[in-house]
Structure 1
Amino acid sequence: MMRFGLYIFIILFCVSIYKDLTIGIIPDNTSMNQNIGNKMEEDKLTGISMKVDKGDTILSVVEEINDHLGNKLDISEIMADFKTLNPKADPIKIQPGETYYFPVYKKGAE
């Protein structure tokens, strides 16, 4: 009887190792990436291309574009969105005369 229990334990142990190696217990990264991609598609960031004048800052241009939001804009979100729209541009050192994409926020966004 003791041998039978040992055989069952070894078989179950081997089956669990096999399932762990083939199926895994860690979530699949591809499905996680698809979920993140779907969320990004829902919250698509829209931008408008504008030429920067001397003395303009990212905040001043974004406030001008999104004047319907008043003072409800978050500076850190604006900087992150600007960097997303302009991956090669330094948000701190925008150049006058250059054209950049600036985020446009929905009316209901806060």
Structure 2
Amino acid sequence: MKRAFYFLLVLIVLYSVYYDLNTGTLPKSSTIATTGQAQESNASMESDDNKSLTIKVKPGDTVLSLVEEHRQGSSEVAIDQIIKDFEELNDGLNPEDIQIGKTYYFPVYP
């Protein structure tokens, strides 16, 4: 009886490893692309210079993650500069004080 149980357990483990390696359990790239497009629809250009975006904050969003998500170029920007620009755009609001569901201005870097 024990042998049959162990045999079935090994078969289940082998099948799950096989399934994970061939099919996978992570979403396909098309699903990720669709999600990214939905997130971009929450952003709108605010200024004439395209230097800021108006974004509604969702659970799990941070200032840094939203700035990186909407970065237009590949240039690196210092975190201190991102924080300073965010505070200037939002009347001195500290980045740690953003609230879910509220809309804020976020800097966009070339």
Specify whether residues 88 and 49 from structure 1 end up closer, same or farther in structure 2 by C-alpha distance, changes over 3 A only: same
CA separation in 1, counterparts of 2:72 and 2:65?
A: 10
How far 1:45 sits from its partner (Å)? 8.0
Contact 1:45/1:81 (<8 A) preserved: no
* Structure of higher RCO (CA pairs closer than 8 Å, 6+ residues apart): 1
Q: Name 2:51's counterpart in structure 1.
A: 46
Q: Name 1:96's counterpart in structure 2.
A: 100
Following TM superposition, the consecutive aligned residue runs of length 4 or more in structure 1 with deviations greater than 3 angstroms are none
Provide TM-score, normalisation by structure 2. 0.51
* The structure with more radius of gyration: 1
1:74-85 matches, within 5 Å, as 74-85=78-89
Unaligned residue ranges in structure 2 (runs of 5+): 1-48
Q: In the alignment, residue 51 of structure 1 is paired with which amino acid?
A: K
Provide TM-score, normalisation by structure 1. 0.51
How far 1:95 sits from its partner (Å)? 0.3
CA separation in 1, counterparts of 2:95 and 2:85?
A: 10
Q: Does the residue aligned with 2:96 lie in a helix, a strand or coil?
A: coil
**C-alpha deviations, 1:79-98, integer Å up to 9, x for none?**
00000000152211210100
Give % identity: 44
Q: Name 2:65's counterpart in structure 1.
A: 60
Q: Does the residue aligned with 1:55 lie in a helix, a strand or coil?
A: coil
Unaligned residue ranges in structure 1 (runs of 5+): 1-43
Q: In the alignment, residue 63 of structure 2 is paired with which amino acid?
A: I
CA separation in 1, counterparts of 2:72 and 2:62?
A: 15
